[in-house]
């Protein structure tokens, strides 16, 4: 891996939440950066920061696009900071304790620790794709899947839309080992990361039961994903705006009695997201909230 570059700008919570990785503004980047947003002062909606990681040193054009994403930082100096490879690895692993969510134990190479008996360990490095298990949205999805399995849910066909690292697809395959599984992401880097993570965690790639098929796709717009519908389980840990936009497509791909797990939204966005899926025949059957991040479980009525 070569050195990377970082630009840090202040922003507000509203600006951070409004960033759409599939929007027109983001598409202006020649090579889209990895964006991370976080609050600096707890419960202060004005004191947030955005960190943009670029593979190559960003020029004036990239900086201008980044500024347009966070207008409140218009007067702030944006100086690219070089991150040498060793520093990037240190940065990505620092402070990430193992995560325990139901029967799952998620760790990086720097923090494996001792895996508790009976838990399924997943080795997921922090880096260029979202979904290490350390964010409340991913943890909420893992807990939702665990609860479904305990209630006796049967899943024969699942798809993880916007898979990131592949973690949620891997978890679904562990809970339902004979299921046919598909994982997609609009970002080819995420699919490369998922492929590497599958090898690291003993997840088989392929097209048969108990195997994972990978696809680079915006949402569910891919021949493989469309042919494999309908699904018993759709996982979508993205953000609120695309979740709402994808509601008609996702809902149409859910089998009778099937489940959609939605995450990546804030508590104040939950009602709008749930309503978008209700319009297409699904009902809210469960909700797990961690901090300000809810995970919604929507289901389609079974045929009797």
Known binding residues for S-adenosyl-L-methionine are 138, 162, 185, 237
The helix/strand/coil state of 267 is helix
278 membership: H or E segment, kind and range: helix 270-278
In sequence order, which residues have a C-beta less than 8 Å from that of residue 304 and are 6 or more positions away?
none
- Omega into 146 within 30° of 0, i.e. cis? no
- How many angstroms separate the CA atoms of 260 and 50, rounded? 30
Pairing type for strands 4-11 and 48-54 reads: antiparallel
- How many angstroms separate the CA atoms of 213 and 211, rounded? 7
- How many angstroms separate the CA atoms of 21 and 298, rounded? 24
DSSP state of 295: E
CB–CB of 105/120 below 8 Å?
A: yes
CB–CB of 7/86 below 8 Å?
A: no
Tokens of 298: 């929507």
Q: Which residues pair with 214 in a beta bridge?
A: 183
Residues contributing to the annotated binding site: 138, 162, 185, 237
- How many angstroms separate the CA atoms of 130 and 187, rounded? 11
Tokens of 100: 């325990």
Pairing type for strands 104-107 and 99-101 reads: antiparallel
């Amino acid at each position: 891996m070569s050195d990377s570059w970082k630009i840090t700008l202040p922003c507000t919570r509203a600006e951070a939440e409004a960033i759409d990785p599939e929007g027109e503004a983001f598409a202006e980047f020649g090579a889209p950066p990895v964006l991370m947003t976080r609050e600096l002062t707890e419960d202060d909606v004005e004191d947030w920061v955005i960190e943009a990681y670029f593979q190559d040193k960003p020029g004036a054009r990239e900086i201008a696009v980044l500024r347009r994403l966070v207008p409140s930082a218009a007067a702030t100096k944006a100086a690219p900071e070089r991150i040498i490879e060793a520093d990037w690895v240190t940065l990505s692993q620092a402070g990430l304790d193992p995560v325990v969510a139901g029967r799952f134990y998620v760790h990086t190479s720097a923090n494996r620790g001792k895996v508790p008996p009976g838990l399924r360990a997943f080795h997921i490095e922090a880096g260029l794709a979202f979904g290490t298990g350390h964010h409340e949205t991913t943890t909420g999805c893992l807990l939702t899947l665990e609860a479904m399995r305990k209630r006796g849910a049967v899943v024969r066909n699942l798809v993880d839309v916007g898979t990131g690292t592949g973690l949620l697809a891997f978890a679904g395959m562990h809970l339902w080992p004979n299921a046919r599984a598909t994982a997609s992401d609009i970002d080819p880097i995420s699919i490369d990361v998922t492929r590497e993570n599958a090898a690291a965690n003993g997840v088989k790639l392929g097209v048969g039961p108990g195997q994972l098929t990978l696809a680079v796709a915006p949402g569910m717009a891919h021949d493989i994903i469309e042919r494999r519908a309908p699904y018993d389980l759709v996982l979508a840990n993205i953000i609120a705006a695309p979740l709402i936009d994808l509601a008609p497509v996702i809902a149409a791909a859910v089998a009778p009695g099937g489940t959609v797990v939605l995450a990546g939204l804030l508590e104040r966005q939950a009602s709008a997201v749930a309503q978008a899926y209700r319009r297409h025949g699904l009902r809210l059957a469960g909700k797990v909230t961690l901090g300000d991040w809810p995970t919604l479980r929507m289901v389609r009525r079974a045929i009797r």
